[in-house]
Amino acid sequence: MVDMNYKLVATTVFGLEAIAAYEIKALGFENVAVENGRVFFEGTEEGIVKANLWLRCVERVFVCVGSFKATSFEALFDGVNALPWELYIPEKATFPVNAKSVKSKLFSLSDIQKISKKAIVKRLSSLYGVSWFEETGETYALTIALLNDNVTVMIDTSGEGLHRRGYRERGNDAPMKETLAAGLLQVARWQPKIPLIDPMCGSGTIVIEAAMIAKNIAPGLNRNFASEAWPKIGKELWKAERMKAYSAIRQEVDVSLYGYDIDSKSIAIARENAELAGVDDIVSFSVRAVQSFETEARYGYVLCNPPYGERLSEAKAVEKLYADMGKVFKRFPTWSKYIITAYENFETAYGMKANKNRKLYNGRIKTYFYQFYGEKPPKNGRSKPV
């Protein structure tokens, strides 16, 4: 299986598919196709490693074993059984089966799992000459995903979700996934030359993700992946790609990255997280209320994830917070402001209509990413916050 070409699938937050596709193309992958919540592309074993190490706003990377249509359990069995499982799953492998079904005639997840497992076992039994699989080896977690009766059969190469970078050992009560934070930075087209402030930074995720981009730190560098144990990829390939990623880190960078929060415990956690991420040398966190927002930089970005006020008892407090934000940020017309919230009447409370907004999902919460554009800086001008 040396240099086998795989059809790969990157799953994403709904609303970030185009951003993920751009990232995938930038890594050199070809035949990139976008669907709701996922992006298809092609790559070798090296590509599986690179995708897991480097993709910032993708949730997981799968190998797509095959796809077909099934409106009956017999068709599901036949379709799964016909796939070339021997190319992917060794005799001793562990291969749990997970199922998802949306708008399909087959909707019993337990039955989909059982029938798919039986179909795989039947094919591998005849090929390996065994009637029982001990499943004591490396894990190949399978997903049988049905959408409108179309079945996509995938193997998870990532293991834990790619948002688990390894730096956030502690978080606050409402953390944002690292993958979403990285996606917001890319939607905003933030670049390291642009000063960035998160005035409600919580555990520091947005600022830390920006710092990792600035230093060109591969987001998956300090974690493990399910496919590291797969013999058909090999530990040497993982080692070689990690060495390349380490050598690609920029040690000397000129950036202005600041995180503020009214909660001192959150700031303490943010500082710990930055140290674990290896970016504590280029970020600054301090205790400060958003109402006290100040900067001497003429141009820059505010990017934040304020409280949403999901409970009725919180609505008035959140409306006041948004009104305060609008009044404070209005004093900085040359700064662009990017704010993600699930609060439906945000623009009314904030006191200004956004230039643009984008629907995204923060976990299962539907949110909008409001974008208020500031004046463009001169091409060669730049100043730093203090």
141 and 182 fall within a common domain: no
Q: How far apart are CA 284 and CA 307, in angstroms?
A: 22
Q: Can you tell me whether residue 368 is helix, strand or coil?
A: strand
CATH of the domain at 254: 3.40.50.150
62 CB contacts (<8 Å, ≥6 apart)? Answer: 8, 9, 10, 11, 143, 154, 155, 156, 157, 158
| Alpha carbon distances (Å) from 99 to 119, 151, 155 | 14, 10, 12
Quick check: is 386 in a domain?
no
Phi-psi region of 166 (alpha: psi -120 to 50; beta: other; left: phi over 0): left
Query: Interhelix angle for 45-54 vs 235-247, to 10°?
Result: 40
Quick check: is 241 in a domain?
no
Q: Which among 157, 180, 158 is positioned nearest to 168, based on CA atoms?
A: 180
210 and 148 fall within a common domain: no
Q: For 331-359, how does the pLDDT look when each residue is reduced to its tens digit (9 = 90+)?
A: 999 999 999 999 999 999 999 999 999 99
Quick check: is 141 in a domain?
yes
198 and 109 fall within a common domain: no
Eight-state DSSP code of residue 64: E
Owning domain of residue 304: 178-217+250-372
156 CB contacts (<8 Å, ≥6 apart)? Answer: 60, 61, 62, 140, 141, 142, 143, 226
Q: Which among 60, 111, 116 is positioned nearest to 85, based on CA atoms?
A: 116
pLDDT value of residue 3: 65
192 and 341 fall within a common domain: yes
Quick check: is 379 in a domain?
no
Quick check: is 382 in a domain?
no
Read off the pLDDT band of 379 (50, 70, 90).
confident
Q: For 99-128, how does the pLDDT look when each residue is reduced to its tens digit (9 = 90+)?
A: 999 999 999 999 999 999 999 999 999 888
262 and 358 fall within a common domain: yes
22 and 124 fall within a common domain: yes
For 247, other C-beta atoms within 10 Å of its C-beta total 7
pLDDT of 15 > 60? The answer is yes
24 and 146 fall within a common domain: yes
Scanning the chain, the segments in alpha helix (DSSP H) are 17-26, 45-54, 73-81, 109-128, 178-187, 205-214, 235-247, 264-277, 315-329, 346-350
90 and 208 fall within a common domain: no
54 and 13 fall within a common domain: yes
Number of structural domains in the chain: 2
pLDDT of 258 > 80? The answer is yes
- Contact call for residues 155 and 142 (beta carbons, < 8 A): yes
pLDDT of 52 > 80? The answer is yes
pLDDT value of residue 376: 80
pLDDT of 240 > 50? The answer is yes
